[in-house]
Structure 1
Amino acid sequence: MQAIQRYSSSTQENIKNLCMHFGFGPLETDLIPLSGGYLHKIWQAQTAEGSYAIKEITSAILQKPGMLERLRIAEKIGIAYESHGLPAVGALSLNGDPLILMNGRYYTIYPFIEGKLRDEPNLSLKHILIMGELLAKMHRAGVKLEAPIKPHYDIFSETYWQHLVSESKHAKLPFAPKLESLLPFILRCNESHEAHVEELNEDLILSHRDLHPENVIWNTAGIPQIIDWEYAWAVNPTQELISIALGWSGYITRSIRPKRFRLLIDAYKAAGGRVTINPVKAFQSFFANNILSWAEINITRALGLTTANLEEQTHAAKLTETILLDLAFVRDEIPSIKSLLNHV
């Protein structure tokens, strides 16, 4: 969990105005900063109409071309899942728009869900079983938006990765030596992913794409509620299945538990989920498109390329150190991961 965030008077004023625009009425208590967000700042706001989770989108992510519209569409995918009766916590919209601009900052607002976030060590086998079944329901739901969505992949060139290594070394960032040592592995992952794109695109659905345990709240009735839809987009269902099976069986804690991996895969298939491409290819693409993309976001933040905020740069540097440890873990565990994938 991330440290709880402080907030400024301008943030409080913006959120007060947001609540009034939505007709929630005035704030009844001070904002309550929420933990768990690695990129954005999140607060709980209590009004006469109810309790809401309000996310302030970090300006760093909006530096990427087209990102604002991508976030808007991603939130609409979450709303569409909710409208299909699936346990998605969709953003509230104002005049049809889930992204609200207030004094130069973008916000999204959600109903506040009472419940618990469970990191991987605190998941039971029942939680794993439920998630496998739920994922199959999501993949079979056929959720669509009015306009078709083209798949998007973050594939960075060898020259760009070498540039990030060089800049990190020049800035004397603490993760620079580790990043340089991992460069050959990163480039191999990029190359493998790029080779599989055409096959991935033969079977695409709209889905969450970042469904790790800390993006699921287990409400007071023990029912999973899926949050954080900002990464949602078109994805190959097997690619998403492999990412979730690894995330829910210990990849995030660098200790994969085969029993949990197999349980989630079996529950998914028993509930009607389909495996449509080679699981090893799915894994390689998940790893490059999700994990390497997350690394790139934080490396550029740490270098100050997408944010001038020193606190954000320091936080991003620490996150990058953790991500690079994850990369090294996967590199060293490739044989055992491929053995697990044979089960799929």
Structure 2
Amino acid sequence: MNDTQYNLNFEKLCSELKLGELLSSPKPISGGLLHRMYAIETTQANYAVKALNPQIMIRPTAVQNYIDSERIATVAAEHIHAQPAKRLMGASMHNIDNQFYFIFDWIEGQRLEQDEVTINNSSLMGTILADIHKTDFTQLELDRSQETNSKKIDWMFYLNKGKNENSEWIEILDSNMDKLYEWSTKAKSSSSMLASDKVISHRDLEPKNVMWRQGKPIVIDWESAGYINPMHDLVETAVYWSVDSSENINKEKFLAFIGGYKKRVGSLTANWEVVLDHGFAGKLDWLEYSLKRSLWIECTDIEEQLVGTTQVIWTLEALEQYENMISDMKNWLNS
């Protein structure tokens, strides 16, 4: 078990950043699977506070990556409705006793569940993704040297370690072992083929990362923002906005998203087979990270370990479902 733990001190956070005095205990809220989010009410205002995962923040490039993600959000907010972190005391990210935080103004709005997404929602989000891709971020002078292609993953290492610890996912991981290496080969090959064409984007524009207020979307949670192949980002995001809660894809919503994107950029030219193969990459990376959490290789506490275990099973199922979608999506994109 790693000694890196969350070290939350909201009173000191509010005091040092002059946010006002807390009126009640911070309330945990849904905020993704990597970090922890809290709603706080002070004498000045209501805020959403993101406490960044300490295990992630010890990575050599993590601090700069998160600073850059908020710089991207700030520029994007000049072109779309987006919510960057608040700049306080001259900074967007704050370190209080080795615990990093982002502070956001509280948004009165709602997220759409997957089954609530309409064709119009999908089309609108397609245009918003295009607007992000068309945004000029050159002023930020972001470092591209940290970009990496899909790496080789030793899945047998995790299977054997899981067997030693009697992990609950060993059967489903074992049964997918051949597929994992097949998907990894496709991800690595497609990553190399798409590497030369990159834009800066949100990179995680799922329904959970969009707040709707009076029918208008506000894009939140920019922590994953960075360079990405635009057609891969397009297809992956179109899937986010066209699958239901059972991960079944809806053709009309998928094509509505693509159509919304094309309204801004015109016709599309791509090798869709390569683009679709690259869709395995992010899921495989997430699977490996979930395995590390489940096995206490990169994990802060039991709560995170349980999330890792759940996500291993969910991601393996998602990979199978994605493979089953590819044929239909390829036909839709080529038609």
Q: TM-score with structure 2 length normalisation?
A: 0.90
Cα deviation 1:267-290 (Å, max 9, x = unaligned): 1101226635322222222331x2
Contact 1:117 1:213 in 2 (8 A): yes
Per-residue deviation, 1:142: 1.9
Corresponding residue number in structure 2 for 1:182? 176
Cα deviation 1:307-332 (Å, max 9, x = unaligned): 25122212210122111111121233
For 1:109, what is the secondary structure of its paired residue?
strand
Note closer, same or farther for the CA distance 1:273–1:323 as it changes in structure 2 (3 Å cut).
farther
Note closer, same or farther for the CA distance 1:294–1:57 as it changes in structure 2 (3 Å cut).
same
For 2:138, what is the secondary structure of its paired residue?
coil
Contact 1:42 1:56 in 2 (8 A): yes
Corresponding residue number in structure 1 for 2:52? 57
Does residue 47 of structure 2 align to residue 47 of structure 1? no
> Which runs of no fewer than 5 residues in structure 1 stay unpaired?
1-7
Note closer, same or farther for the CA distance 1:341–1:175 as it changes in structure 2 (3 Å cut).
farther
For 1:234, what is the secondary structure of its paired residue?
strand
Distance 2:30 2:52 in 1: 15
Corresponding residue number in structure 2 for 1:235? 228
Residues paired across the two proteins, number: 329
Larger CA deviation: 167-176 vs 88-97: 88-97
Instruction: Report 1:283-322 matches (<5 A).
Output: 283-288=276-281, 290-322=282-314
Cα RMSD for the two superposed structures: 2.2
Distance 1:199 1:163 in 2: 28
Q: Which amino acid aligns with 1:266?
A: G
Per-residue deviation, 1:42: 0.5
> Which runs of no fewer than 5 residues in structure 2 stay unpaired?
1-5
Select 1:75's aligned residue among 63, 70, 78: 70
Distance 2:99 2:266 in 1: 40
Q: Which amino acid aligns with 1:104?
A: N
For 1:33, what is the secondary structure of its paired residue?
strand
Corresponding residue number in structure 1 for 2:205? 211
Note closer, same or farther for the CA distance 1:188–1:251 as it changes in structure 2 (3 Å cut).
farther
The percentage of aligned residue pairs carrying the same residue is 26
Q: TM-score with structure 1 length normalisation?
A: 0.88
Per-residue deviation, 1:56: 0.8
Corresponding residue number in structure 2 for 1:256? 249
Note closer, same or farther for the CA distance 1:251–1:59 as it changes in structure 2 (3 Å cut).
farther
Distance 1:217 1:31 in 2: 21
Does residue 86 of structure 2 align to residue 115 of structure 1? no
Select 1:277's aligned residue among 256, 264, 270: 270
